Structure 1
Amino acid sequence: MSATLEAENLYKVFGRRPDGAVERLRAGAGRDELRADGNTAAVVDVSFTVEPGQIFVVMGLSGSGKSTLLRMLNGLLEPTAGQVRFGGQNLTKLSGRELREVRAKKISMVFQHFALFPHRDVLQNAAYGLAVQGVPRAERERRAGEALALCGLAGWEKSWPDELSGGMQQRVGLARALATDADLLLMDESFSALDPLIRRDMQDQLLELQRTLRKTIVFITHDLNEAMRLGDRIAVMRDGRIVQTGTAEDILVRPANDYVASFIQDVDRSRVLTASAVMDTEVQGDEADCDCATATPDTPFTELCAISARLRHPVAVLDGEEQLVGVVPRRRLVEFIGDEQGPSRSAAAARAAGDGRAVAARA
């Protein structure tokens, strides 16, 4: 199992007097005030913990500080203040040589633009990190071949990068990161250069690999739907700060402020929400005595719509011990993605209702 990653009160200021700028930020100064003095606050007082085996997504618009934050996690950028710990080791206290050792063996990075060597074949590209470690050729080719197979590239080992599609090139980059068997994967907008269909395929690939490998992953994206699909937990950044951290449901159902609420307004909630997010918990605690269709707290929203379409009463939500923990009246489904929430919600509701009627018809 991978190790825990911890970021504690991280700051990154570019400029003439970064240490003084950090003190001013701690005293309440804004980014604009620092900019007037020739300093740029890229990351401001960021703290979070990524548990072993989680995909932690950092999401934000361009200029929010997310890529700068990622580069502090593996020491490519030195924090102006704060600490990064991985597996209990304080990475901010390591020497240059020690950091290179950590990056070679414990932390791998998957870049946005593939970063493949055009003069090396696919197998050599996938084995590059192992070559840097000094792993003997036979072993590194074996491990690189296994990583390529995991990424769906068995049989392409002797091909050249320019013979591959963009999605396949990104798979090589992912295989290179996996071949080193690093505990932590850092992925910087890794799928954003791909067209939508290939991008979704790569998301599927990552989720499938994660079910097997259970790596600790920090994934950077500006795409909210991608964040909602991939993230076990999500951090939303604005102006260098994390403004909310939580699960996809937390952020959709309980946005921390108006900025987050406006950020998520066009998300198709039917693809994210589950029964636990929409159920009414006021009636609970009694054992359910019902032969009709029921749901669990993890039942996806579209399946919940299908169940509701077959019933004349609210859907009962039962826990693992068959105890009633909530009910979902049809009005609750409308409240979350109904007509009163605008055209984009109406479209989502129509799709959800259509899925529900289709499933009900098949049943």
Structure 2
Amino acid sequence: MVKLLRPKTLENDWDAYREEYEKLESNLFEPTVNKISEMLDNYAMKNELEINRRLRLEQSINILIKEARTKTNLEAKETRAKLKEVQGNLLKLTREVMADTDDTVKDVLSEIARMDISEIEDTELVSKRSELEAQIISEAERNEEVLESIRLQLENIIWIKDKTGEIITSTDINEALEEELFDLKERANLDLELSQLGMAIGVIHHEFSGTVKSIRQNISRLKAWADVNEDLLELYRNIRTNFEHLDGYLTLFTPLNRRLYRNEVEITGNGIKKFLDDIFKMRLERYNINLKPTLNFKKKTLLGYPSTFYPVFVNVVDNAIFWLNDKPGDREIILDADENGFSISDNGPKIPKKDWESFSS
């Protein structure tokens, strides 16, 4: 069976589908078949009917054997037909290659026979010989490349058995390599998107920093006017309050800027909690969600770059808030830690099993 390359998300969905199908097979279909068989046996015994259980078993197995043999024979027939076709094409190609070589040799020999060597000077004769030799060499090299390429393709048609007795073909190996390459390309594209997003954040932070500095200076100038003009006081206070709110959000970009941290720094659970509070405080209050750190989380420390770890917490907590905002009852996001690292959990709806692989990959 030829395996088509699929994006990672589609591959995960397919694996989840097969897993669910196997569950249905083992938990529903097989028990149903057994139940029906049991009901037939009970009915036969109750009504004193003679039903040969061995005959029923053999009939069921014989149907599967017939299907297996039919499929195998059909595939074997098609394989032999394809082999015969390829063999015929190879023989035809080798004959054509040999014929092309013979034609080139005949042309060269005919041209030599037509030459009057006694009338040709030595330098011209050497040049002519080189030209004729080049024709033969060129034709031989071209034919050699064609035949060598085909021979290598034939040599790559291999099959081996692994420890479990499973047959692995060259197609399986190539598919595995292609799938790995496909995954690496997807990962490279994702890394590129993330790097571009990081660069965009850096540009925004730089531009905002300059603008905020200018606004801060002008607000200070406005304060001087407000101190002597009561009509401007309320306007000044409103502008300052809104600006401080905007300036607070701007400071959240600071831990995400890798250039500010040339070396790894100590990252604490308390620092992460404070950063999350600064970002999500209004949303947490709006949806009545309790962001609760454990004692282990508060005490946990690690060495690293804030620009690497902080966005992870922001992304996961943001996702948790999204799924909790419609949940009835208590809503909690638990920040915890142990010897293996940090963990985040909530009492919202569970993650579908088919999406587990997306998080681990």
TM-score of the superposed pair, with normalisation by structure 1: 0.18
Name the one with the larger strand percent: 1
Question: Over alpha carbons, which structure has the higher Rg?
Answer: 2
Name the one with the larger helix percent: 2
The one of the two structures with greater contact order (alpha-carbon pairs below 8 A, sep at least 6) is: 1
TM-score of the superposed pair, with normalisation by structure 2: 0.18
